[in-house]
Chain A
Amino acid sequence: MNSAGIIAVFLAALIIPGIILRTKSIASGRKGPGMFQPYKDISVLLKKGSVFSTTSGSIFQIAPAINLATVLCAALFIPFGKYGALISFEGDFIFFSYLIALGRFFSIIAALDTGSSFEGMGANREAFFSMLLEPAFFILMASFAMATGFTSFTDIFSNFYLSENNFMLIFGLLGIFVFLQTAMVETCRLPVDDPKTHLELTMIHEVMILDNSGFDKALIHLGTYIKLALYGLLIFNLTIPPAWTFPVQLASFVVIQVLLALAVGLIESFRARNKMNKNPKYILTISGVAWIAFIVILLLGERFIN
């Protein structure tokens, strides 16, 4: 059952994009496309070949595959409730984070490889925002490690609810906020980025993939969907005690993923995108909240001050 995590991620990745799309359609009063339209688009893209600019090199050609591969590998480290992850070792959350960062690094250098000034601009923004976001994830995971005394995802989440301290609930709420916001930034969602935007000057992630087409573009979209489901699974692990029975956990997982997709859809329907110069402040606020989680464990958990 250790493969439950990765199966759950794939299943969630199947439904999340469709629910986001349907939510946005209903919220804006449109009939809109069906639930599985994103995957119909991907199947069309997969059947096409890729077109490469003569100015781009081999990095541009391999980057989409590496990006998807890193996300898939990262999924192997996330447990599903009481069922541990397929791969688990001390400090695996650092490896997880750097796997995601490796995929992003290849996306950035692939964008630079095209020689387009617009894509370079997008790469610059992506690198800057990632630099601001990564501390939030590390601080939060370090706080979890301090709270539970373990440093792997499987051990952290299986021991998270064993503590009877009331500050663990505060901790959980702050953690859910940070994971949710991290998911929104990592998967290029509103209010930081807009996956539907088509003005190069205001784009971040989408401007980096302007030159990608066909099969490569399908891989990039798949990677983004799986990454969103991955963060949904992290939120699930943080929310649901591992002691619950498997059917209840499965139902909770579906509910959490649907709620995540609904939240993303509603935010994208009713909220405007941030001005570009407000994004650093927005992302740094996530780190600020993560720091508060860290202070909570220092003070209330009496790890540092007795």
Chain B
Amino acid sequence: MINYLIVAFALTLVYFASTERIITYIRLIGLQGLLLCGIALFELSDINLGNLLFIISETLLFKAFMMPFLLSKIVDASGVTKVHRLAMPAFYTLLFSIASLLISVVLAASMMNNYVSTIYMTIALFALFTGLILIVTHRLIVSHLIGFMIIENAVFFFSLAMGSKMPMLINVGILLDIFVGVLILGFFGLRLKAHTNELTRLKD
């Protein structure tokens, strides 16, 4: 079952590279949260019940529901529906994404050892690269925020890749979730405008 969820996660990353609508990004972030919840549920079934419940509820609450909700509120308030017109076309982003998938496999294979899960490491690197590509090639702050959240999901996979030997890493990854939640709330409080790069209130 975990394999199905991991492949679905990889497909969402490919979809991230090919879409240009912010609402689709938000839905994909929510979907990734649900997938991560499922992966954590199946992968971490051996750890103690309290810790498992904490991880599951945190993943479900923060990643699958709260962050997409806050992001959609930010998007509603700012009126941004699509990526900036000067963002790199999705065709090239997709090319970078496919290249990053192959690089991820090679990197994960090169660091193969008994302590690291190669599958999780591959998907973590792929998510990391996808997030970075999104941040570097896009111009709107909302896209950057979403890229950061994908990287944050990558960190969760990194922690799962070494989770069997270092369970504390998973909890450290969760602390990052809470940090991102606060970051999004900060943007929410700032009442983000559609075009933050234009100076409209300058006076002589």
List which A247-281 residues lie within 8 A (CB) of chain B.
278, 280-281
A170-B4, A281-B18, A285-B18 given; A305·B118 CB < 8 A: yes
The contact string, 1 if C-beta is below 8 Å from chain A, for chain B 76-109, is 0000000000000111001101100110010011
Taking CB atoms, residues of chain B closer than 8 Å to A288 are: 14, 17-18, 94, 97-98, 101
B101-A300 in contact (CB<8A): no
Stretch of A82-90, A225-233, A290-298 on the interface side: A290-298
A224 within 8 Å of B (CB atoms): no
A287 within 8 Å of B (CB atoms): yes
B122-A289 in contact (CB<8A): no
B101-A291 in contact (CB<8A): yes
A131 within 8 Å of B (CB atoms): no
B interface majority secondary structure: helix
Give Cα A284–Cα B7 distance, bound, in whole angstroms.
Answer: 18
Nearest B residue (CB) for A296: B7
Give Cα A281–Cα B14 distance, bound, in whole angstroms.
Answer: 11
Taking CB atoms, residues of chain B closer than 8 Å to A285 are: 14-15, 18, 94
Min CB distance A272 to B, Å, is: 15
A299 within 8 Å of B (CB atoms): yes
A170-B7 in contact (CB<8A): yes
A292-B91 in contact (CB<8A): no
B3-A166 in contact (CB<8A): yes
B60 within 8 Å of A (CB atoms): no
List which A217-240 residues lie within 8 A (CB) of chain B.
none
The contact string, 1 if C-beta is below 8 Å from chain A, for chain B 155-193, is 000000000000000000000000000000000000000
Taking CB atoms, residues of chain B closer than 8 Å to A300 are: 3, 119
B199 within 8 Å of A (CB atoms): no
The contact string, 1 if C-beta is below 8 Å from chain A, for chain B 1-43, is 0011001001100110110000000000000000000000000
A299-B101 in contact (CB<8A): no
Give Cα A284–Cα B108 distance, bound, in whole angstroms.
Answer: 24
Give Cα A299–Cα B4 distance, bound, in whole angstroms.
Answer: 13
Min CB distance B68 to A, Å, is: 22
The contact string, 1 if C-beta is below 8 Å from chain B, for chain A 15-46, is 00000000000000000000000000000000
Nearest A residue (CB) for B15: A285
B61 within 8 Å of A (CB atoms): no
B89-A289 in contact (CB<8A): no
A288-B17, A289-B14 given; A298·B105 CB < 8 A: yes
A167-B91 in contact (CB<8A): no
Taking CB atoms, residues of chain A closer than 8 Å to B15 are: 285
A284-B118 in contact (CB<8A): no
Taking CB atoms, residues of chain A closer than 8 Å to B90 are: 278, 281
B89-A281 in contact (CB<8A): yes
A167-B3, A299-B118 given; A289·B11 CB < 8 A: yes
List which B95-151 residues lie within 8 A (CB) of chain A.
95, 97-98, 101-102, 105, 108-109, 112, 118-119, 122
A284-B101 in contact (CB<8A): no
Nearest A residue (CB) for B112: A305
Give Cα A291–Cα B4 distance, bound, in whole angstroms.
Answer: 16
The contact string, 1 if C-beta is below 8 Å from chain B, for chain A 142-176, is 00000000000000000000000011001000100
Give Cα A281–Cα B89 distance, bound, in whole angstroms.
Answer: 9
A305-B14 in contact (CB<8A): no
Taking CB atoms, residues of chain B closer than 8 Å to A287 are: 98
List which A50-77 residues lie within 8 A (CB) of chain B.
none
A299-B122 in contact (CB<8A): yes
Taking CB atoms, residues of chain A closer than 8 Å to B109 are: 304-305
B14-A292 in contact (CB<8A): yes
A281-B3 in contact (CB<8A): no
Give Cα A275–Cα B169 distance, bound, in whole angstroms.
Answer: 46
B105-A284 in contact (CB<8A): no
B122-A284 in contact (CB<8A): no
Nearest B residue (CB) for A295: B105
Q: Known A-B contacts: A166-B3, A284-B94, A292-B101. Give 6 more (CB < 8 A).
A: A167-B3, A174-B7, A289-B11, A289-B14, A291-B101, A300-B119
Q: Report 16 cross-chain contacts, Cβ distance below 8 Å, ordered by A residue.
A: A166-B3, A167-B3, A170-B7, A284-B91, A285-B14, A285-B18, A288-B17, A288-B97, A289-B11, A291-B98, A292-B7, A292-B10, A299-B118, A299-B119, A300-B119, A305-B118
Closest 5 CB pairs of A and B: A288-B14, A281-B91, A281-B90, A285-B18, A280-B91
B interface with A by C-beta (< 8 Å):
3-4, 7, 10-11, 14-15, 17-18, 89-91, 94-95, 97-98, 101-102, 105, 108-109, 112, 118-119, 122
